[in-house]
Amino acid sequence: MKVLVTGANGQLGQCIKKQASNFSELELHYFSSVNLNITDAEKVTEAFKEGNYDWCINCAAYTNVEKAESEEKKSFSVNAEGAKNIAKACAEFGVKLIHISTDYVFDGEKDSAYVEEDQVNPINVYGASKLKGEEYIQQNLAEYFILRTSWLYSEFGHNFFNTMLRKANEENCVLKITTEQKGTPTNANDLAFASLQIISEQKNAYGVYHFSNEGEATWYDFAKAIFTNADKLGDVELMASNEYKTIAKRPNNSVLSKEKMKNKLQLDIPSWEESLANLQNNL
């Protein structure tokens, strides 16, 4: 099976490249934003026409939550219009789609974990742009998996995990980490593996799904676990804080229920603590 992967140089794209060795039956073709700008509808159509693909994994996204507040047009161009271009090309050439979305489509007011059918209500530009992308896909394509995920990290790129590891090696490091938000750190390698597994096993229960690691945490919990695994907790002055000043509003609760994913697609999902420890043990 031939698979087109957009956003191949991003964090998730690099994780897909890493996990691809587990799926030798898949022929993966990687496109970065340099050789496939998904906001250019003609270029997208051209790439799909030439490739004769069976599946597409759309990892291309504008993900800077803070800058999106001042770059709304750019955020919507990639996350909404780009997703629409991909969906239309998939429909035209008979390609099945896996599209990555976000927990930020919710407002965070719910006390328990969000299920796929819960009311969406994004409270920042990034979340609104990703939700619009979801809607465009649903309007233009029947055979799709929209995978909402949360708090992605990995050994690749700029993310909270790599920032904390860097901070751990600084002298006299003092960190105030928020306890204000609750969610689930998600190892992007697990999301990459699950995406490739859906394709490999030819899953066809199309629709919207939630995928994050199991369990829940605050950003403080996440930071503490990173330092503990790295045996650096004693080297860092780590303080919990309920103050977290940002330009973009964040949902206070963005824990996602994975019951639909586990029941309908029969995918195993490790806990966030287990997956984090596994990654750090193998760095």
Q: Which residues are catalytic?
A: 126
CA distances from 92 to 49, 78, 86, 96, 143 (A): 9, 20, 10, 11, 12
Bridge partners of residue 210, in order along the sequence: 148
- Tell me the sheet residues that pair with 4: 29, 56
**What b/e readout covers 43-55, taking b as 16+ CB neighbours within 10 angstroms?**
bbeebbeebebbb
Closest to 89 in 3D by CA, of 14, 130, 31: 31
d(CA 60, CA 99): 9
Q: Quote the CA–CA distance of 148 and 142 in Å, as a whole number.
A: 18
20 secondary structure, DSSP code: G
| Chain center to CA of 232 | 27
Q: Which two tokens stand for residue 280?
A: 């750090």
CA distance 210 to 231: 32
Structure token digits, residue 155: 């050994």
For residue 212 the two structure tokens come to 């994050």
Tokens of 45: 């159509």
Provide the 10 A C-beta neighbour count for residue 245: 5
